Amino acid sequence: MNDRVAIIGIGWSGYRRVSPDLSYKEIIYEAALKAYNDAGVDPRKDIQTFVTVAEDFHEGTSIFDEYTPDQLGAALKPMHTITGDGLHGLATACMLVKTGQFDLVALEGHSKASNIRTLPEVTAYAQDPILNRPLRFNSNFIAGLEMNRYLFETGATLEQCAAVVQKNRLHALRNPKAAFGAELTLDEILAGPPISWPLGKRDLAESADGAVVMVLASESLARQLSDKPIWVLGIGWCNDSPSLESREWGELPYIQKAAQIAYRQAGFRNPQGIIDFAEVDDTYSYKELQSLEALGFCLPGEAGILTEDGATAFDGELPVNASGGSLGMGHLLDATGLTRALEVVLQLRGEAGLYQLEEVNVGLAQSWRGVPTTSGAVAVLAN
Amino acid sequence: MTMRKVAVIGAGMTQFVRRAQETPKELTWQASRMALESCELTLDDIEAVCLGTAPDSFDGIHMNGEYLSDGAGAWRKPYMRLYVAGGTGVFVPIQGWYHVASGLFDVVLVVAEEKMSSYYPHAQAAFLTIFDHTTERPLKPNLLWIFALEMNRYMTTYGISKADIARVSVQHKHNAADHPCALLGDPKITVEDVLNSEVLAWPVQRYDVSPVSDGAVAVVLAAEHIAKRITDKPVWIEGVGWNLDTAHWTNRDLVYPRYVEYAARMAYEMAGIKEPKKEIHIAEPYDPFDYKALHHLEGLQLAERGQAPQLYIDGTAARDGNMPVCPSGGLLGVGNPIAAAGLMKIAELFWQLRGEAGARQVPGQPRRGIAQAWGDLMQVGTVVIMGR
C-alpha cells in the first residue's frame, strides 16, 4: 500500500461563458497537455490509469465514457468514469494510488455547459420521476426553498448572502481565469429580480465552459518527479437522502460527514487554526454560508456574520473562495469541485499570481453536486 | 509491496425479468437487502457504497446514481457511482476492491442495477445516442448492426459456421434452466431452434441475442481481518483488470478484442497467473451475443484465436467439462440487465467457489474463476479473478 498521495501536475483550459470555437475534446486536450507537461510525464508511457468525471445528460451522449480516452492519451489503458463531482474523481485517484497497484494516475473533469440548450430542464430531470417530476419543480425553485429554510433556522440574512456574492465576484476580478469578476454594491445584488424568493438572480452562479486535469502520484514517485508536490492529507465524501421529502433542509449533514472523514484522515478534528484558506461550494450564495458551518469553521448562523465582517475576504483570517468561487469563475458542472481543488493547489504552490494568499500551508476544497442531490465531498490539501 | 486482501463475503440478486413492476430504487434495495442478509450484516456495518448502472437514459433520470443512492443503502454514507457501459457490472466490484484495498474502508456494499423496460417501446432507442454526434449519429446506426459487423468479421476470418456459434446460445440457455433467477432458461432448446429464429441483422438472429431485462445484484466486500471473522468461506478477489480502447471503433480490427486481452493480462499479473488455461477453473465471459462469449474467451487467453468454438464442441465448456463456461447461464440465459448482468457473474463465481450453486454447481471443487464484461463501442474490457 502507498500511504501518501500527491498532486504533481495541474492543467486547465478556460473558463469562459461560451466556447463555440472549441469542442469538449479540445478543451480537455489543452488541459491535459498542460498537466502532463507540468508533471513532466508522458501519458502513453508513464501514466498507469485514468479517471474522468462526467454525466450522460450533461454531455448529450449515452454512456459518455466511450469518448473519454482519446484526448487524454488513454486509449488502450485502464480508464473509467465516475458519475460524480471532480472531488469524487480525486478520491478515486487517491484510492487507486493507495492500493499500491498504481503509482501515477491522471484525473479529468470538464464542462461544456454552453452546448446544453436546456440546462434547467436537464437538471430538473434529476428529480424523482414518480414523486417529484409531476410537480414540475425548477431546480432554482428547490434552491429557494432550501435558502428560505436556512435563513429561518439560523437567522442569517439576505444581506449576508449578498455579501458572499459581492466578495466572490470582487475576488474574481484578480483572477485572470474567472469569467464573472465584478464590483457590485449590496443594493445591486439585493435588487434581484427574485428567481424563487428569497433567491435572487445574483445569488446563483452562471455556468461556464472549461476543463481541469490533474496528475497524482505515490509518495516515492512524487518526490522523484516534483519539487513542489501538493499532498492530499484527507478526502471524504458522503450522500444524504436523495428524496426531497425526507432530508434536512437547513443544514448539510452530508458535508459534515464528508468533512469528518477527511479531517480524520488528515489527523485533526477541528479545522479552525489548521486550515489556512478554503475553496467551498457557492453554486448559490447561501451555500457558501451553509457549507462553512457544516465544515466546522463556525457555528450555525455565524458564517454570515463572519462574511459581513470580512473574515472570509481575501485579506481576512480565513480567505474563502479567493479565486472567485463558482459565483466569480462560473459553475463548471461536474468539474466544479475539481476547479476548487485546482485553486487550492495553485495557492499552495504559490502560483496564484495576483490573488496569491500569503503564508498558506493547508487548504480545503469542498463541493456539492447541485439540486436535487445531497452529495458532497471535502479534500484537505497541503504543501 | 504487499496489497490489502479483499474478499467477497455475501451476494444477492433479484429475479431477472422482462418488465419489473418495481421502481429502479426498489430493485437496488431488494438486491442490497439480500446481499446483506446472506452474510448476516446490516446497513450499520457498511462503511461505503459503490453503485454501477449503465446509461442514465434507461431509467430516464439525470444523475441516476444520486436517485438510486438510498435504495442502495447509501444514506449518510460515502457513495460513488461509476460506469463503463456494458463493462460496468464487472467494474463495480473493482471499484469496491479499490475502496477496501486503499485502506480507506473495511466493509463495502457493491450494487448494480438496470431497468431497461422503462424505455418504451424498446431500450434499443437509448443506444442511438451512444454514437459520435458528428460522424456516426446522422447514419442512425442500430446497435445490432455493429454486432452483426463484428460477428461477420469473426466468422469470415476464421471460417466459423453459424451452427458452431449457436452451440454457445444453446448451452448457456440449458445452464440457465437451473438458475432460479433466470429469464430465458430452456432445457430443450436446440441448435436448429437458434438457426431458425428470426433474422435481426444478418448474421445475428433472435436467439443469438440476450434479452432486454430488468434486475439488480449486490455483493458485500470486506478486508481480510473482517472477512475471516464473518465467514469461514471468504472468496478472495485475486486480480482485477480493465482497459478502454479509443472511441474510433471503426478503425479497429473487430476480429479480436485487444482491450479484453490487456485487461486480462493486468488481472493475471496481479493474481500471479502464468498459464490461464490451466489455472482458471470456471470462466464467466461476457455473452450478450453468443459469438461474444467466444470472442472474449480468446481475449482472455483461454482459447487460441479462432479456436474458442472448439471448447463448446469438445465439451470443455460444459458444466462438467474441464473449464466450464458460464455455468450460470450467462446473459443469454439468465438475462441482460446490463450492469446487473456483469455483477451476476461475480455472484455466480462467489456461489460456485463456495460450493453453494445448487443445481448449477460445477463438480470438482473449483478453486479459481474469472468473470469478464465488455462495453462501449467495441471498446472496454473489465476482468475480475476470484479464488478461495
Q: Does the domain at residues A137-205+231-382 carry the CATH identifier 3.40.47.10?
A: yes
- Grid coordinates standing for A149? 429554510
Chain A residues close to B64, C-beta within 8 Å: 83
Residue A1 has pLDDT above 80, yes or no: no
pLDDT in tens, B169-206: 999 999 999 999 999 999 999 999 999 999 999 999 99
Q: How far is CA B193 from CA A167, B188, B336, in A?
A: 72, 10, 20
The cell numbers describing B262, all together, are 490487456
Across chain A, mean pLDDT equals 97
How many other CB atoms are there within 10 angstroms of residue B3's CB atom?
12
Query: Rounded to the nearest 10 degrees, how much is the dihedral formed by the CA atoms of B282, B287, B291, B294?
Result: -20
Closest alpha carbon to A195 in A241, A141, A245, A235:
A141
Point out the residue among B54, B69, B102 whose CB comes nearest to the CB of A239. Answer: B69
Instruction: Give the pLDDT confidence score for residue B1 in this predicted structure.
Output: 55
Cβ neighbour number for residue A297 with a 10 Å cutoff = 23
Query: Measured between CB atoms, which of A1, A78, A84 is closest to B266?
Result: A78
Percent pLDDT > 70 in chain A is 100
Task: Please choose, from the candidates A106, A3, A95, A118, the residue with its C-alpha nearest in 3D space to the C-alpha of residue A53.
Answer: A106
Closest CA to A49 of A96, A1, A108: A96
Paired strand residues for A218: A5
Res B278 pLDDT > 80: yes
Q: Answer whether B73 touches A (CB < 8 Å).
A: no
Does B376 sit within 8 Å of A239, measured CB to CB? no
Are the C-beta atoms of B9 and B227 separated by less than 8 Å?
yes
Domain boundaries, chain B: 6-120+211-387
Q: Are A366 and A236 in contact (CB under 8 A)?
A: no
Whole-number average pLDDT of chain B = 96
Q: Work out the angle at residue A68's Cα, subtended by the Cα atoms of residues A62 and A74, and round it to the nearest 5 degrees.
A: 150
CA dihedral for A326, A332, A336, A342, sign (positive or negative): negative
Residue contact B75–A240, C-beta within 8 A: yes
Strand ranges, E, within chain B: 6-13, 48-52, 79-83, 107-115, 199-201, 204-205, 214-223, 235-244, 282-284, 368-375, 380-387
Chosen CATH of B6-120+211-387 out of 3.40.1380.20, 3.40.47.10, 3.40.50.720, 3.30.465.10:
3.40.47.10
User: Over pLDDT 70: what percentage of chain B?
Assistant: 100
pLDDT above 90 coverage of chain B, percent: 92
Mapped onto helix, strand or coil, the DSSP state of residue B1 is: coil
Angle at B112 between CA B109 and CA B117, to 5 degrees: 150
Minimum-distance CB partner of A66 among B76, B270, B377: B377
The residue of chain A with its CA nearest to that of B47 is A238
Q: List C-alpha distances in Å: B351 to A305, B12, B220, B319.
A: 59, 10, 13, 14
Q: What are the domain boundaries of chain A? A: 5-118+208-230, 137-205+231-382
Nearest to B126 among A62, A92, A373 (CB): A62
Show the 3-state SS of chain A. Answer: CCCCEEEEEEEEEEEECCCCCCCHHHHHHHHHHHHHHHHCCCCCCCCCEEEEECCHHHHCCCCHHHHCCHHHCCCCECEEEECCCHHHHHHHHHHHHHCCCCCEEEEEEEEEHHHCCCHHHHHHCCCCCCCCHHHCCCHHHHHHHHHHHHHHHHCCCHHHHHHHHHHHHHHHCCCCCCCCCCCCCHHHHHCCCEEECCEEHHHECCECEEEEEEEEEEHHHHHHHCCCCEEEEEEEEEECCCCHHHCCCCCCHHHHHHHHHHHHHHCCCCCCCCCCEEECCCCEHHHHHHHHHHCCCCCCCCHHHHHHHCCCCCCCCCCECCCCHHHHHCECHHHHHHHHHHHHHHHHHCCCHHHCCCCCCEEEEEEECCCCCCEEEEEEEEC
Query: Are B258 and A76 in contact (CB < 8 Å)?
Result: yes
Cα(B233)–Cα(B218) distance, rounded to whole angstroms? Answer: 18
Residue A302's CB is within 10 A of a number of other CB atoms, namely 17
Q: How far off is chain A from B372, nearest CA to CA, in Å?
A: 14
Assess B99–A contact: CB distance below 8 Å, yes or no.
yes
Quickly name the fold that domain A5-118+208-230 has: Peroxisomal Thiolase; Chain A, domain 1 (3.40.47)
Count of CB atoms situated within 10 Å of the CB of A20: 9
Neighbour count for residue B219 (Cβ, 10 Å): 29
Cell for A222?
A: 512524487
Contact flag B62-A369 (C-beta cutoff 8 Å): no
ipTM > 0.85 for the complex: yes
Output the pLDDT for position B120: 81
pLDDT score at B2 = 78
Chain B 252-291, residues with CB within 8 Å of chain A CB atoms: 258-259, 262-263, 266, 270
pLDDT in tens, B319-358: 999 999 999 999 999 999 999 999 999 999 999 999 999 9
Q: What is the pLDDT of residues A116-159, one digit of tens each?
A: 999 999 999 999 999 999 999 999 999 999 999 999 999 999 99
Q: Are strands A194-196 and B199-201 parallel, antiparallel or unpaired?
A: unpaired
Kindly report the nearest CA distance between residue B268 and chain A, in angstroms.
Answer: 13
Selection from B229, B236, B205 nearest residue B100 by Cα: B236
DSSP for B84-117?
BTBTHHHHHHHHHHHHHHTTS-SEEEEEEEEE-T
- Contact status, residue A87 vs residue A216, Cβ threshold 8 Å: no
Cβ–Cβ below 8 Å for B375 and A63: yes
pLDDT tier at A55 (50, 70, 90 boundaries)?
very high
Strands A5-16 and A104-112: unpaired
Q: How close is the nearest chain B Cα to the Cα of A2, in Å?
A: 8
Residue located via cell numbers 457501459: B85
CB B90 within 8 A of CB B373: yes
Residue A250, C-alpha cell as written in the block? 437547513
How many Å separate Cα A5 from the centre of its chain? Answer: 19
What is the full DSSP assignment across B351-386? HHHHT--GGGPPSS---EEEEEEEETTTTEEEEEEE
Judge whether A214 and A32 are in contact, CB under 8 Å.
no
Q: What percent of chain A has pLDDT over 90?
A: 99
Residues of B in contact with A95 (CB under 8 A): 98-99, 101-102, 104
Q: How far is B10 from chain A (nearest CA, A)?
A: 22
Tell me the per-residue pLDDT of A310-363, one tens digit each, with 9 for 90 and over.
Answer: 999 999 999 999 999 999 999 999 999 999 999 999 999 999 999 999 999 999
CB-based contact, A240 to chain B, within 8 Å: yes
Q: Cα separation of A157 and A171, whole Å?
A: 22
Q: How far is CA A32 from the centre of its chain?
A: 18
Of the pLDDT bands very low, low, confident and very high (cuts 50, 70, 90), residue A245 is: very high
Give the mean model confidence (pLDDT) for residues B4-24: 96
- Give the whole-angstrom CA distance, residue B83 versus residue A121: 23
- What is the model's pLDDT at position B35? 98
Rounded to an integer, the average pLDDT of B238-259 is 96
pLDDT of residue A346: 98
Residues of chain B with C-beta less than 8 angstroms from the C-beta of A142: none
Q: Does B246 sit within 8 Å of A81, measured CB to CB?
A: no
- Four-point Cα dihedral B180, B286, B51, B143, nearest 10: -110
Closest-CA residue of chain B to A374: B66
Closest CA to A50 of A36, A30, A60: A36
> Which chain B residues are within 8 Å of A48, Cβ to Cβ?
none
| Cell numbers representing residue A9 in the block | 501536475
**Do residues A261 and A253 touch, judged by C-beta distance below 8 A?**
no
Residue A257 near chain B (CB below 8 Å): yes
CB contact B102 to A (< 8 Å): yes
Contacts of B81 in chain A (CB under 8 A): 82-84
Check CB contact of B82 with chain A, cutoff 8 Å.
Answer: yes
Residue of B nearest to A87 (CA): B80
Report yes or no: A301 and A161 within 8 Å, Cβ to Cβ: no
CA A179 to chain centre: 16
